Structure 1
Amino acid sequence: MSTIVTRRIEGSGPYAYRVTYRSADGRHHWEYLGPVGAVDPEGLTDEETAQLREEGFGLARHRVTTSHDLRRLEVANGLRDRLEEGVLAPTDDRRSTVVELAEDAPTTARQLLEAEAEDMAQELDKGAGQAALTEAEKGRIDFTETTIPEAQAAKAAILDEGIDDWTSVWSEDLTGVGEARQAARDNRQSIGGDRLDNEEGPDERTTSNDEMRSEAEKQALKYAKEGDADARAYLLEERGWTASEIETTPVAA
């Protein structure tokens, strides 16, 4: 037996979850469906679709949106505050550094977002500088394909993106700091790193676990620690947890 539950999390949302009661073990299994208004009706039963509509929530339709990662949350939200109402996509999330515009956003808004993204990319690429290579790292690099300054700049950029084992995402065929950063961002979730940003305050999980965890996350953590693969996938893929956090975070009473 399952039902659709909609919740706001830390002021954002609402988000839709399918909650299924498992009579065999007496547990409730939470499945994240997405932001309300962007839930794909193809994945819902007729009853679930009717429930969302009765609660006044629309369902997703195909949208062609524009989005850019502005790298820093205060910059992303500053831009959001400057845009007119209705310009942001329904699925845009203020907790994310990625700003997503609605499909019918005006050209001026698209140009503003693109310019902001380009400025941030240039600022961060200049700020990373170079990081010295260890003898072990030098032994792992093919300097017939790259140079020491290029490798040092790539290392600095990847470390700046929060990945300590920088050679795990870098290769000699990457061109420039920009591609090194992109490789770090593309692989950050699987490796478990978080972007380092000394100008931002502490990450949500460093302030107060009990205050910042949503109830859904707390429930998912409990089941993940009991071996529930879906709960673990939800935390890793939807909520941005790392495997280490799942293992070390205590379950709230």
Structure 2
Amino acid sequence: MKESLQGSDWDTTVLGLDPNRHYLDAFLGDLKRRAHLGLIERWGGLPASGRVLKTDLFEEAMGPDAYLPNLGNAGGMVVGMDISPAAAGKAHVRFPGCDAIAADARALPFADGCFALIVSPSTLDHFPEPADLHRSLQEIARVLEPGGRLIITLDNRQNIFDPLLRLANRLGLVPYYLGRSYAVRELREGLEQAGFRVQETTAILHNPRLTAVGAIALAKTLRWKPLMRLVQRAITSAQRLEQTRLCYYTGSFIAARAVRR
């Protein structure tokens, strides 16, 4: 799906989705939000000064998993970008205090070395070709200051449920284009080739996405609070898998902390 490289196609996706019927409910959205903010906190926190960039605004446009406002710091400013002008526009309406612009990760409209921290949450995996990932990583390295940090997540190809997610995507059951998934080895190699030093990797969100969304939807439909509590407890408990050797087989996203050399 080469057309998914274009912002106009993501405009169609964003404008066609009802924010009140988002695929993530408030519980799953908060879980995802806290997982990403937890990564940032564990991996150095926000910089004391300097600019922060978030490379995707799908969450801020309509989701309960938005966290761009949390990336502000006392000494700098936070910028959010998205390939979709519609997503950037909706994000600005929801969070008028944040800068939100339309931009392509493969050709960033920023000067060299102008960011201290870049957060890239499952953005670059929406491109269908590995070459687009490598090009985007090179651009991110260019706009990071020397020693600046990148915290990146990508869809996890090692996840045992990834083939089912890909099948659901082909059947039209996923509300947006997925692109590619990657193994942690591929992410590490891509970062190193782009001029980064990889400091740490992990995998996050240890619940099968389709199963979790379906179970929550079923509990809501039945309006059975004990079932909802059971489902939520099971999903919360599954997050402990991040601390085990199984994490790369159960996490929905691989994650890396990398520093520009």
Q: Of Structure 1 and Structure 2, which has the larger fraction of its residues in strand?
A: 2
TM-score norm. by structure 1 comes to 0.22
Greater Rg, structure 1 or structure 2?
1
Relative contact order, CA 8 A, sep 6+: which one is greater? 2
TM-score norm. by structure 2 comes to 0.22
